[in-house]
Structures are given as structure tokens and as C-alpha cells.
Amino acid sequence: MKVAVVILNWNGRQLLETYLPSVVANSSGAHIYVADNASTDESVAFLRERYPQITLIQNATNSGYAGGYNEALKQVDEPLWVLLNSDVEVSPNWLDPMIAAFQNNQQLAAAQPKILDHRNPDRFEYAGAAGGFIDKYGYPYCRGRIFDSLEKDQGQYNTEIDIFWATGACLFITKEAFETAGGFDERFFAHMEEIDLCWRLFHLGREVKCIPQSTVYHLGGGTLPTMHPKKTYYNFRNSLYCLAKNLNGFTAKKRIFVRMVLDGVAALRFLIKGQFAHVSAIFRAHMDFYRNYSAITKTKPAVYNKNNYYVINSIVWKYFVSGLRTFSKL
């Protein structure tokens, strides 16, 4: 199976210098691309000088993660794609178990490896950990990570498992599945666009898995720190986009209402902590959701999967009220 490793870059010369060597060294047989999102630093010159063997795709503008990949992938013909963040160090033979999983399962549309923290490699990393899930009200969580609680990797999640979403930090997806589902929704710009994409794959009856026999190490926050107000804005707005797009009728309205109440509680917690920029971010997220609601709901799936997309009603209740901090206790 021919594989394309596609790294999206925006002003990330230092990240490329640090992390690209592991990708080149450990991806024998794969075609490596770097898709540059109109960087203004020395990224392009660095790539041309140091890595002439890598295929450089130059996007005309910075259209975020979603738009950047949508544009770049038009030039990638391999049947299996790996959408890899520029701040990920890969391990030897990281591709082999992933390729085998796709070769052995024609229904498999997307997958991720085990994601560990580059700074603390004995712990799971925030963006994906050992596979993503979502609760009834659109809050994402992972095997190995619930909200900001990161578990130590002790082999407890070393089993291959069906998941609801695979992380965009290291997303394996077939060209066929990506195109059939319609690619990323560029209105998301960045954050949670992979959850929306996997939700559309769910509606199509396709499988998404975590294959923990493959391991990568993610720095995280390479372009935007975890607790940056802009990230709060995107996560809260895009969660509402996901619900509005992928749920139908009264169910959508009811769950969006509950979600917005819970967002208000989150804003109150930020206010009590004196984190006013995050309060403002949630307010702006809601205002933009109201503004774009009609357009968002016009792009609902043609067919709805009536099976439950969630296994936990409320991860907020489980975490903050019941005090459950690890996935295995849910």
C-alpha cells in the first residue's frame, strides 16, 4: 500500500528542523510531503536546502489546518494518507502496524497510533492519547486523557479498539474515505475539524480505530498553546458546529441548549479564576455560532447513523461531579 506522509507547516522552521529528521529516518517507502501554508519565515528555503527529496506543496494563503490540508491533498495521489503535525517525533516502524490494519480491514477509514507526550514520554499527550470519544453534548475525551488529566502510559490501553475520532495530530485516513466524506470543513479553520470529519465517517458506517502498536511523540502547542484563549474560542465554537451539523431535528436543538448552559458554567469557572480572556473567548464563540447557525445547518449529512455516537452521557458530570479522572474508571 502506497503511503503519503503529509506535514502541514506554517512558520514552523524550528519545528521542522527538530522533528522532520525522525520522519525521514523512520518512514522508508513512504512519500513525504510538506504542505506550506504561506509561511513568512525561512521554512521554504530550509526545506529546499536541507530536504530536496521531500515534495514541497506551497499553498497560496494560510487557511488553517482544515483549508490547508484540503488544498494540499488535491496534489496527493497515494491511497493512504498520514496527516502529521510538524511537532511530532515518530518511532521506528511506526508505519508498519498502521498499514497492516488498513490492508486487513476494507471498512477501516481512519486510524491513529498511540500519542505520547514528547516532554514526558511516559504520559499520554492531550491531542488524541490512545483514541478519541465524545459525550452526548459534544465534549471530546480520550483513552488516557480526560479534560486536562493525563494518565501515565503503563500499557493499560495497548489494545486495538474502535474509537469515535482519531486525532488530527497524526491522522491516518484513506484518500477514498476523505473524499467520500467531503474532506475537512474549512469553516472550522483549526481544532476539532477531525472530529467533525470522523463524525461524517460514522454516518457513512465506516470504522475508525486506535492502533497502539504504533507510537508517536507529540510536543503539542507547537503553533498554539493548550490554554491560549484563541484555542478556547475554536474549541467551544467548533464543538457547537459539530453538534449542529451532525445531529438532526429536535435532538440537535436540545443537546445544543444543554451544551450552551454547560459552556456558561465553564465561563463562570474562568471568571472566578480571573481568566477574563477565556470568558471573552467563550462569549465570542457563542456569538459566532449564532451568526453562522443557518449556514452550518444547511450542510447536514444526507444520511444519519441512528446508532449512538456516545458511550458516556456527560463526561462533565463524570469528571467534575463523580471525580473520575481516568478512562478505565468511566
The pLDDT tens digits for 179-236 are 999 999 999 998 999 999 999 999 999 999 999 999 999 998 645 555 789 999 999 9
CA–CA dist 20, 219 (Å, integer): 13
**pLDDT at position 261, please?**
97
Using an 8 Å Cβ cutoff, are 184 and 126 in contact? Answer: no
- What residue type is 306 in one-letter code? K
User: What's the whole-number mean pLDDT along residues 245-255?
Assistant: 94
* Cell numbers that stand for 184 in this block: 475537512
Q: Could you read off the pLDDT of 265-320 as tens digits, one per residue? A: 999 999 999 999 999 999 999 999 999 999 999 988 888 998 999 999 999 999 99
Q: Which residues, 6+ apart, have CB-to-CB distance to 125 below 8 Å?
A: 115, 116, 117, 118, 145, 150, 169, 217, 218, 220
CA–CA dist 83, 180 (Å, integer): 17
Distances (CA, A) of 206 to 87, 167, 188, 197, 299: 29, 16, 22, 11, 20
For residue 249, give the nearest of 301, 180, 312, 323 by alpha carbon. 301
**pLDDT at position 200, please?**
97
Q: Could you read off the pLDDT of 25-84 as tens digits, one per residue? A: 999 999 999 999 999 999 999 999 999 999 999 999 999 999 999 999 999 999 999 999
| 3-218: CATH class | alpha beta
**pLDDT at position 220, please?**
83
**pLDDT at position 225, please?**
56
Distances (CA, A) of 248 to 68, 111, 138, 184, 296: 29, 26, 14, 20, 12
CA–CA dist 178, 109 (Å, integer): 8
Q: Which helix (H) or strand (E) holds 57?
A: strand 55-59
**pLDDT at position 302, please?**
82
Say how many C-beta atoms besides its own lie within 10 A of residue 251's C-beta: 12
- What's the whole-model pTM score? 0.95
Instruction: Map out the domains of the chain as residue ranges.
Output: 3-218, 229-329
